[in-house]
Structure 1
């Protein structure tokens, strides 16, 4: 087995064809007249994107930013690979009113649906020196309504959030500009000489199964499961004044052709009591483990809880939350 395919590239054309077909079927991304590149998970794709969008000849590095709350990998990975070409700056909001007058190069991460709060984010920065990486890992019908196909300059996806096969380590990007595609390709080839052909074969087999049923089976099952979990969680916390969840408005989904409620991958839980500023500690005392708010550059009043773990894990989460709510009700009745 060679490093490359018969066409001397490290990308399976058959797999690329299936990815384009899948996006067309789901209606979540425009791929016509676009380039597609593969990576070892979306993690490597994102790293290549930051590299490709950073100018070579600027007097100062490009500032990499995102709207709070944002996925911690953006900060961690950018800091780790920091070079003379790019540097993680943090919150995007201070730059909103400066992009038309500043000559600072900016790279904005736009995550939709957002990790951790499930919101369909839009870019907040615009201007001649602004570029964006649209992380659409969760932009699939089991996690969110699909109001329209995304049509951005650079969009990233991952197999792990499509099928759940995180261990296959396969991600891809859909890219509009040839120059960006070429820089990302060079980065991948120098980094790992492309993605394992075994991983590409595994991804192809999975996509073939999805496409056999035109995606209906996996997305209907996924949406039914996620929607039920979200409803159970909301019902569990509905009587609580101590905890609250993010609000995500329903939208029309072009894939299911109906208005749809939320079915997010994560719950963004907030401790509402003034004295409970460390929500992670509150939940940990009840044997509930999430991710602290500060990991997403947010307040520690917030904790991210996963909705995509095993059924046993989810059932245990609900039982422990019910105990917390029951304790709250007991205190209220005793006063």
Structure 2
């Protein structure tokens, strides 16, 4: 009887123990659920972001602009130059034609045609680290794809070389001048020199004081350390350039050495070469340059300088550029790639402007001839980014002012260390900009023909 009583007492204790275990298990389970679910995005978050992006992209702004989300999440049209109104439908007749800007907006239609493959949706928690998982500031995948791009475009040899990335060309030039200067810290740094005409952007802090770019070599002291900056194709005239100044070191700027702007006779293999994503894809708002460097010591010195004096290239920029390069590479050889699209657009614009100017005695543009292109495997017509316009009449001493008076905004030849009889016309803007430019040029040429008849 005592044993039965003792057994009867054990049963309630066992039930209580089971209850306590079950309660503990449920508490742990719900605690883990709450903690883990707090760090997981809700299902469908990417679909919501994609819907917003597609809704904005569907607004065509009358074909004269692009939409974006403004304050309050409402779509607003950003109009092309010389267009206004909520839907960019109003043409401003007294607006000057913009032939000054370098933004490659002529490639915008290409990316609109490749919206699904070129768009990215980045979660809000991405890019929380300043370094990659490998401990570097630059993604190894970006480095690899840049090399693949050069190999596919057949414009530069990168095998066995080092690639240094920077947000701006000025950053890379600063680092390269530092690396190429004398090892002795007490000696003065070298300075950059280029042959006129040239675009001085990014180089001003390292130009030789009192020495013009088109200097005579005999006028320099043997102790002067000169680094030649060669831009090929050249900005502003689109000509392929070589080193001519006999400098101790040369930096080759190949920003425009891509099949849509220039023929590619053969892959370049210089010691130092500069490139930028903005001229390849047209994304001037994405700041990314890179230097392809042959010598390891030069690379190490430049990289050390960059790490101490500049900010790293942002993770967001790297992800965006990587996506764009992947699209460019995947579309090559299919007839509808960005190089084919860009080449056809610029060739048509150049041909139209060339024909117009050729009928004038007052104006002329640089002579460019068809050349064999290693990428297209054929002789291609010229398709430069800019027209280097010259006012031939003696009384038109300031060609920039002549065009400005006629409603055309250009870039004066004096800014390129050239004669004021020259001015640069940009051919890389929107179709609206180019149409307005040709309309104003036609008016100028027609006025000349009427006056001479």
**TM-score after normalising by structure 2:** 0.68
User: 2:195 aligns to what?
Assistant: 67
Retained in 2: the 8 A contact 1:63–1:88?
no
Deviation at 1:60, TM superposition (A): 4.1
Q: Secondary structure at the match of 1:166?
A: coil
User: 1:42 aligns to what?
Assistant: 169
Equivalent position to 2:371, from 243, 251, 255: 251
Retained in 2: the 8 A contact 1:142–1:222?
yes
Matches within 5 A, 1:77-116: 77-78=205-206, 89-95=211-217, 102-116=222-236
User: 2:271 aligns to what?
Assistant: 153
User: 2:180 aligns to what?
Assistant: 53
Retained in 2: the 8 A contact 1:268–1:303?
yes
User: 2:315 aligns to what?
Assistant: 197
User: 1:21 aligns to what?
Assistant: 148
User: 1:209 aligns to what?
Assistant: 327
User: 2:346 aligns to what?
Assistant: 226
Q: Secondary structure at the match of 2:389?
A: strand
Retained in 2: the 8 A contact 1:70–1:297?
yes
Q: Distance in 2 between matches of 1:172 and 1:75?
A: 16
2:429 paired with 1:309? yes
Q: Secondary structure at the match of 1:69?
A: coil
Retained in 2: the 8 A contact 1:40–1:170?
yes
Retained in 2: the 8 A contact 1:112–1:134?
yes
Q: Distance in 2 between matches of 1:63 and 1:41?
A: 18
User: 1:133 aligns to what?
Assistant: 251
Show CA shifts across 1:275-322 (max 9, x none).
111001100000101111110000110001101011100100000000
Deviation at 1:55, TM superposition (A): 2.1
Aligned residues between the structures: 323
Q: Secondary structure at the match of 1:38?
A: strand
Deviation at 1:87, TM superposition (A): 5.8
Q: Distance in 2 between matches of 1:66 and 1:21?
A: 30
Deviation at 1:44, TM superposition (A): 2.4
After superposition, the Cα gap between the structure-2 partners of 1:195 and 1:89, relative to the gap in structure 1 and judged at 3 Å, is: farther
Relative to structure 2, which stretch is displaced further, 55-64 or 108-117? Answer: 55-64
Deviation at 1:48, TM superposition (A): 2.2
User: 1:293 aligns to what?
Assistant: 413
Q: Distance in 2 between matches of 1:199 and 1:131?
A: 31
Structure 2 gaps of 5+ residues are: 1-127
Show CA shifts across 1:186-207 (max 9, x none).
2221233421111011100000
After superposition, the Cα gap between the structure-2 partners of 1:197 and 1:87, relative to the gap in structure 1 and judged at 3 Å, is: farther
Q: Distance in 2 between matches of 1:227 and 1:190?
A: 43
After superposition, the Cα gap between the structure-2 partners of 1:14 and 1:56, relative to the gap in structure 1 and judged at 3 Å, is: same
2:183 paired with 1:183? no
User: 1:4 aligns to what?
Assistant: 131
User: 1:82 aligns to what?
Assistant: none
Q: Distance in 2 between matches of 1:229 and 1:240?
A: 17
Relative to structure 2, which stretch is displaced further, 150-159 or 33-42? Answer: 33-42
Deviation at 1:11, TM superposition (A): 1.2
Equivalent position to 1:319, from 416, 430, 439: 439
Q: Secondary structure at the match of 1:155?
A: strand
2:244 paired with 1:124? yes
Q: Distance in 2 between matches of 1:319 and 1:70?
A: 28
Aligned Cα root-mean-square deviation (Å): 1.9
Q: Secondary structure at the match of 2:157?
A: coil
**TM-score after normalising by structure 1:** 0.91
Retained in 1: the 8 A contact 2:173–2:203?
no
Q: Secondary structure at the match of 2:212?
A: strand
Structure 1 gaps of 5+ residues are: 80-85
